[in-house]
Structure 1
Amino acid sequence: MKTEREKMTDGEIYMTGDAHLMKDKSRARTLAARYNGTTEEEGDLRRSLLKELLGSCDDEIFIKPPFKCDYGYNIFVGKKFFANFDCVMLDAAPIYIGDNCLMGPKTCVYAVNHPMTAAERATGAAKGKAVHIGDNVWFGGNCVVLPGVTIGDNVVVGAGSVVVHDLPDNCLAVGNPARVVRYIDQEERNEFSYILDLD
């Protein structure tokens, strides 16, 4: 028989008040609080805490405190990740983030959903849905990504957008709900190549 953690991570209905999950949440909040209390001069300690908290990340990760998450172990971050102030990740289900991603202030990624009926919500039941974010994605400030969403590579999400549906590669999406307003052409993708030496 599956544990509540296994049900949660597998995208099945689980009970949020499970004692083991509450212990996992307490661990994550303790590590996040320690991280949020560090200074930029404590880079080694910051990296160490993030490696202990998250499912995976590289040494070039940079998150401006405060950062909050539910469990931490369901967050898998690619190379050179940057998140600005007040990033929140509710990682009941896995959150996969590709390489070179930037998150503006107050970006929130939610990989958990609650029942629509009050009676079901009162039981403490929830269901996780994994979020996938591709490489080279940039979120403006105050963006929200909802459960089960997949965002392609090279996507720009405008400030204040709420992403409720999948987004394809190479697009600019804005609004609530976020909609593709145009595609980012090769010329735009090459605009900064001379600065970044991407030839």
Structure 2
Amino acid sequence: MTTEQDKMLAGEHYWINDPELTEIRFQTRELVDQFNLTQPRDAGHKNALQQRIFGAVGDNVHIEKPMRIDYGRNTTIGSNVFINFNFTLLDCCPVTIGDNVFIAPNVQIYTASHPMDIEQRNAHIGFAAPVTIGNNVWIGGGCIILSGVTIGDGAVIGAGSVVTRDIPANVTAFGNPCKVR
């Protein structure tokens, strides 16, 4: 039997209020709250919590507080990653953050989406698509990265951009919608 979690991870329509999914979100948010309350100098405790929150975390990952995370377990973070203040992650589908990635303050990554059909939306039906951020990427402050997007290795995303489509490797892109410039 296919669970709502299986459907969610597969990008199919799923019931957002499923008790199993709700419990996972509660558990993740409790860990994130602990992370957000950790003293700034207590790197060991912050690192231990990062390992519990995310599916996989590489070496030398630094995340500033606060952050907000939906599931956490659906996200892998490479090595030598810096994530600045006010990071929001809705990881209903897999999120991959490569090595040597810099994420500026107030960045939001959304794998989640909702149907255009009002009845489905009111029934709390959702769907999601993965987000992939390659190696050596810099994402400027206030960016929003939407579901299904891949950002290629070495790309730079300008501050305030709304990334609605894939961005190729080794380019500078910015704007709303984000475009290669």
Q: Distance in 1 between matches of 2:46 and 2:58?
A: 12
Q: Distance in 2 between matches of 1:69 and 1:166?
A: 23
Residue 9 of structure 1 pairs with residue 13 of structure 2: no
Shift of 1:147: 0.2
Partner of 1:35: 35
Q: Distance in 2 between matches of 1:81 and 1:73?
A: 17
The letter of the residue matching 1:123 is A
The letter of the residue matching 2:127 is K
Deviations 1:88-132 (A, max 9, x none): 010000001110101110000000110112211001110010001
Q: How does 1:25-174 map to 2 (within 5 A)?
A: 25-174=25-174
Identity of aligned residues (%): 39
The answer (yes or no) to whether the contact 1:47–1:59 under 8 Å persists in 2 is no
Q: Unmatched 5+ residue regions in structure 1? A: 182-199
Q: Distance in 1 between matches of 2:112 and 2:47?
A: 26
Shift of 1:40: 2.2
The answer (yes or no) to whether the contact 2:68–2:86 under 8 Å persists in 1 is yes
Q: Distance in 2 between matches of 1:62 and 1:6?
A: 30
User: Is the radius of gyration larger for structure 1 or structure 2?
Assistant: 1
Q: Distance in 1 between matches of 2:39 and 2:156?
A: 30
How many aligned residue pairs are there?
181
Q: SS where residue 170 of structure 1 aligns?
A: coil
The answer (yes or no) to whether the contact 1:110–1:147 under 8 Å persists in 2 is yes
Deviations 1:4-61 (A, max 9, x none): 1111111111100000000000001000000000122111100100100100002311
* CA root-mean-square deviation: 0.7
The answer (yes or no) to whether the contact 2:59–2:78 under 8 Å persists in 1 is no
